[in-house]
Chain A
Amino acid sequence: MKMIILESKKQNQMSQKTSRRKFLKKSVSAVTGVVMLPYIVPSSSLGLGEKIPPSERIAMGVIGTGSQGMSNMRSFLRLRDQVRFIALCDVDAKRLAAAKAVVDKANNSTDCRIYSDFREFMEKETLDAVLIAIPDHWHGIIYTAAANKKWDIYGEKPICRTINDGKVIVQAVKKNGIIWQTGSWQRSQENFHRGAELVINGRIGKVKYIEVGLPDGVRGIGTPPVQEVPEGLDWDMWLGPALKVPYRGVCHWNWRWILDYSGGQLTDWAGHHVDIANWGTGLEYTGPVEIEGTGFYPYDGIYDVPVEYDITCKFANGIIMRIANASRLPKGMGTAWYGDLGWIHVDRGNKISASDPKILEETIGENEIHLYKSNDHFQNFIDCIRSRKEAVAPIEPAYRAISTALLGEIAMTTGQKIYWDPEKEEIIGNPVASRLLGRPYRKPWKLPEV
């Protein structure tokens, strides 16, 4: 069943690409000697072990060269015999210069171009793929614009700050037929894959309840005064579509503790453990129907995201999912599926445990569901760029995972139980809560047409 869904989605993704892309595709086929690639594409079968001439490497760019952008970039630099970074973009000149130094060293050349404005970057560059790692409030505009360029995208989770942004991004990725990989790298880890596969094949019986533990909130920093914008940072551009506020020392990394830009740990981490929870229960292409939640918000200070949160959602098939900060849950961080025959818990650090250890020794039969297998999240993206197959972490599951958390955020903000139609993607019978599905953009910013 699962496989069939994926197969049909894959076909939708096949579409026209740039001439360079076609060339890449042809060259891969030539190396492997087959036209149709197997569903699972180990890099060895692509002949990627052999040296690829620089002219045939995937031309990549980066938008957002901060901590996550650099981390992703370094992971791709491991695979520099297959990719080449040719252009970088960031609103902070210092970070941009640091990133260029790393790329130049790897390229053994100084020809990598740099931009401070993504519009110029998009206008001038011709890329195969782009890595995007920027604050959430910018995702709607930049993901959509990059998809419209028909660049394949490695994009960071959460894929959107609001559900309305998310809908447009999903549409843009699908309509443009690009390859999308979400930075939900847990999908390429053995324990998460194994746990999800055991659950989806009924090894703990019928799943009734899922607990998802995400990090506890961070300590506040009080109410800092207005400060001078650091040299090299384009603050107005950093804010972009968000309301204009003076610079108060909170920008890189810590933007995630301010509601204008992020929903805190809840939205930061939903793309990991909620995504895995959905993967193991076949909920990745739907959403909850009822959502309730309580948040403890800081009493004071510039950080305003909930420091504790406890959300309970119900899905149409009756599964209950509780998403809370780890301290509130018996198993703490990670995803715990509870079925009528037992439970399985997975977490980072290659952790997997079960109510009965024997469950973990079970094998999955040939005719059972085999979840997409990737053992290298970055290699998987490259392989899929060449093969035009869907990557292990496609756009819609990413959207479904974050929309569940965002509905939880709406429930916490309004203090109300939210009813959601996952097909129409609308809140039912609550026009006030529905206003929170989006955030108006500051002029002149608006979402690009898809």
Chain B
Amino acid sequence: MKRLFSIFLIISVILIAFTECRKSPYYRALIVTGQNSTDWAASTPILKQILEQTGIFECSIIVSPAPGEDMGKFRPAFDRYDLIVLNYYGAAWPEEVKSSFVNYVNNGGGVLVYHSASRAFPDWKEYNEICGISGWENRSEKDGPYVYFRNNRMVLDSSAGPAGWHGEPREFEVRIRNSEHPVTKGLPVRWMHAKDLLYARLRGPARNMEILATAHCDTTGGGSGRDEPVIFTVTYGKGRVFHTPLGFPGEGDSPALQCAGFITTLQRGAEWAASGRVTQPVPRDFPTISGVVIRTEMKPLTLKAEIENLAKYEIGMSTRYYTGLQDRIRKAAGNPEKLLEIEKMMVKLLENEQATTESKKLVLRELSWMGTDYCIPAIKKLQENTELKEEVEFALERLGAK
């Protein structure tokens, strides 16, 4: 009995150790690139950064031979990875590579089809099935129906016509069509996407395809006037495919790739494709319809940096550091130590002579309901400040400290 217990203990320790060492980085991803109609050299490092920022992906890159060069020695080892990210649109792969890719997906491998990658290989049947839908390269009704959303339903439209169209890059609203899927669960249903190309009139086999989000393509310049799929999944064999035609690299700093909505859905889609689940929380800066959210630097702000930025607030400036602070407070609910840490930083702002009056007004509004006894002396010290008189009274009255 004792011995049995020892064995159990050893197994447990091994299991725990195994789980621990698998934790970070947990999944291995491979970005396949090297030829594309878009600037693959610009987009690939950003995709890598987006994936690695999750803390659950270790990301490698394989660059194919340049266009016109011999593809004979191009041999990505798909089977070593949990996720293949396709950022490739160019010369045909060797047959061996093609079949190993199909086997990889069939056996349960994860695939992320990014932006223009679906355009590749119009004659490769399995590839088109894996992508679900695509465009250009003389694709037409022979390749499958148009797929779009109408009256809250996915429509498979077999009418004749060419596949693939896009207008000028612009900002547009993305609409989540399935909030129950792990990728989209908990995301705002409507949000603004940064300047991007919206692919329209995509068509293809569309088998086992599920649309998660659409964007409306207006009829300007010959647009489809339809709600076009912009985030969708395909299941192929045992494999999971996450496909987004979004993310055009270009337009200066590639705003589409800096959009917090694009980044988040890509990160979540990658995890889902690799594992079938999503463990990442929805970030606080996820856009809503109130406007596009650009992550110029992708690291989340520290509390200190947020307060320092808030201290410069004047009317007419961005309120993002204020809304960030509010969000921090909400997230710290039920954690008195964390809340006190935030409160102390807020009090520092009140005591900071360099901080603007407008920033102090905002901080006083928040303290009015979430403050503890800690903040009261600092607020009372501001009673002499005529510019803050009303906000100070407001806060003290609500805190019951008049």
Residues of A at the B interface (CB closer than 8 Å) are 216-220, 222-226, 243-244, 246, 248, 294, 296-304, 307-308, 325, 327-328, 412-416, 432, 435-436, 438-440, 442-443
Is B393 a contact of A432 with CB atoms below 8 Å? no
Cβ-neighbour of A223 out of B316, B332, B391, B399 (below 8 A): B316
Is A216 a contact of B394 with CB atoms below 8 Å? no
User: Given A307-B290, A416-B334, is A223 in contact with B318 using a C-beta cutoff of 8 Å?
Assistant: yes
Question: What would be 8 A-B contacts, judged by CB atoms less than 8 Å apart?
Answer: A223-B319, A243-B390, A299-B320, A301-B290, A327-B175, A415-B330, A415-B334, A443-B390
Q: What is the CB-to-nearest-CB distance from B31 to chain A, in angstroms, rounded to a whole number?
A: 29
Kindly report which residue of chain A lies nearest to residue B361, judged by CB atoms. A243
Give the residues in chain B near A294, CB-CB below 8 Å: 186
**Which of B175, B285, B323, B400 is packed against the most chain A CB atoms within 10 Å?**
B323
Give B139-196 interface residues, CB cut-off 8 Å to A. Answer: 175-176, 179, 186, 188-190, 192
Give the residues in chain B near A219, CB-CB below 8 Å: 192, 289-291
Q: What is the CB-to-nearest-CB distance from A219 to chain B, in angstroms, rounded to a whole number?
A: 5
CA distance A435 to B397 in the complex (A): 10
| Given A302-B319, A307-B290, A435-B369; 14 other pairs, CB 8 A cutoff | A219-B289, A220-B291, A223-B317, A298-B288, A300-B290, A300-B293, A301-B290, A303-B290, A307-B190, A327-B189, A415-B331, A416-B333, A435-B399, A438-B398
Number of interface residues of B (CB under 8 A): 43
Kindly report which residue of chain B lies nearest to residue A440, judged by CB atoms. B397
Q: Is the CB of B272 closer than 8 A to any CB of chain A?
A: no
User: Given A300-B323, A327-B190, A414-B330, is A243 in contact with B291 using a C-beta cutoff of 8 Å?
Assistant: no
Q: What is the CB-to-nearest-CB distance from A365 to chain B, in angstroms, rounded to a whole number?
A: 38
Q: Is the CB of B39 closer than 8 A to any CB of chain A?
A: no
Cβ-neighbour of B398 out of A327, A440, A442 (below 8 A): A440
Is A299 a contact of B288 with CB atoms below 8 Å? yes
Q: Mark B277-300, 1 if CB is under 8 A from A, else 0.
A: 000000001111111010000000
Q: Mark B309-321, 1 if CB is under 8 A from A, else 0.
A: 0000001111110
Give the residues in chain A near B288, CB-CB below 8 Å: 217, 296-299, 307-308
Give the residues in chain A near B33, CB-CB below 8 Å: none
CA distance A248 to B314 in the complex (A): 13
Q: Is the CB of B107 closer than 8 A to any CB of chain A?
A: no
Q: What is the CB-to-nearest-CB distance from B261 to chain A, in angstroms, rounded to a whole number?
A: 11
CA distance A219 to B188 in the complex (A): 13
Is A243 a contact of B334 with CB atoms below 8 Å? no
Q: What is the CB-to-nearest-CB distance from A178 to chain B, in angstroms, rounded to a whole number?
A: 30
Give the residues in chain B near A302, CB-CB below 8 Å: 319
Kindly report which residue of chain A lies nearest to residue B284, judged by CB atoms. A299
Give the residues in chain B near A308, CB-CB below 8 Å: 188-190, 288
Is A301 a contact of B291 with CB atoms below 8 Å? yes
Is B369 a contact of A328 with CB atoms below 8 Å? no
CA distance A432 to B339 in the complex (A): 12
CA distance A435 to B366 in the complex (A): 11
Give the residues in chain B near A442, CB-CB below 8 Å: 390, 394
Give the residues in chain A near B315, CB-CB below 8 Å: 223, 225-226, 246, 248
Is A307 a contact of B188 with CB atoms below 8 Å? yes
CA distance A224 to B190 in the complex (A): 23
Q: Mark B351-390, 1 if CB is under 8 A from A, else 0.
A: 0000000000000010011100000000000000000001
Is B399 a contact of A217 with CB atoms below 8 Å? no
CA distance A308 to B191 in the complex (A): 10
Is A440 a contact of B393 with CB atoms below 8 Å? yes
CA distance A304 to B324 in the complex (A): 12
Q: What is the CB-to-nearest-CB distance from B334 to chain A, in angstroms, rounded to a whole number?
A: 6
Cβ-neighbour of B289 out of A217, A243, A244 (below 8 A): A217
Q: Is the CB of B49 closer than 8 A to any CB of chain A?
A: no
CA distance A224 to B397 in the complex (A): 30
Is A328 a contact of B320 with CB atoms below 8 Å? no
Q: Is the CB of B53 closer than 8 A to any CB of chain A?
A: no
CA distance A439 to B399 in the complex (A): 11
Cβ-neighbour of A299 out of B176, B290, B393, B399 (below 8 A): B290
Q: What is the CB-to-nearest-CB distance from A299 to chain B, in angstroms, rounded to a whole number?
A: 5
**Which of A246, A297, A303 is packed against the most chain B CB atoms within 10 Å?**
A297
CA distance A222 to B192 in the complex (A): 13
CA distance A218 to B289 in the complex (A): 7
Kindly report which residue of chain B lies nearest to residue A442, judged by CB atoms. B390
Kindly report which residue of chain A lies nearest to residue B402, judged by CB atoms. A440
Q: Is the CB of B327 closer than 8 A to any CB of chain A?
A: yes
Q: Is the CB of B12 closer than 8 A to any CB of chain A?
A: no
CA distance A243 to B176 in the complex (A): 37
Is B289 a contact of A436 with CB atoms below 8 Å? no
CA distance A424 to B317 in the complex (A): 43
User: Given A308-B188, A308-B189, A435-B369, is A299 in contact with B293 using a C-beta cutoff of 8 Å?
Assistant: yes
Give the residues in chain A near B327, CB-CB below 8 Å: 297
Is B287 a contact of A299 with CB atoms below 8 Å? yes
CA distance A328 to B398 in the complex (A): 34
Q: Is the CB of B19 closer than 8 A to any CB of chain A?
A: no
Q: Is the CB of B326 closer than 8 A to any CB of chain A?
A: yes
Q: What is the CB-to-nearest-CB distance from A169 to chain B, in angstroms, rounded to a whole number?
A: 20
Kindly report which residue of chain B lies nearest to residue A434, judged by CB atoms. B369
Kindly report which residue of chain A lies nearest to residue B321, judged by CB atoms. A300
Is A222 a contact of B291 with CB atoms below 8 Å? yes
CA distance A414 to B369 in the complex (A): 9
Is B391 a contact of A243 with CB atoms below 8 Å? yes
CA distance A218 to B190 in the complex (A): 10
Is A304 a contact of B323 with CB atoms below 8 Å? yes
Kindly report which residue of chain B lies nearest to residue A223, judged by CB atoms. B316
CA distance A301 to B326 in the complex (A): 14
User: Given A299-B285, A300-B323, A435-B398, is A216 in contact with B189 using a C-beta cutoff of 8 Å?
Assistant: yes
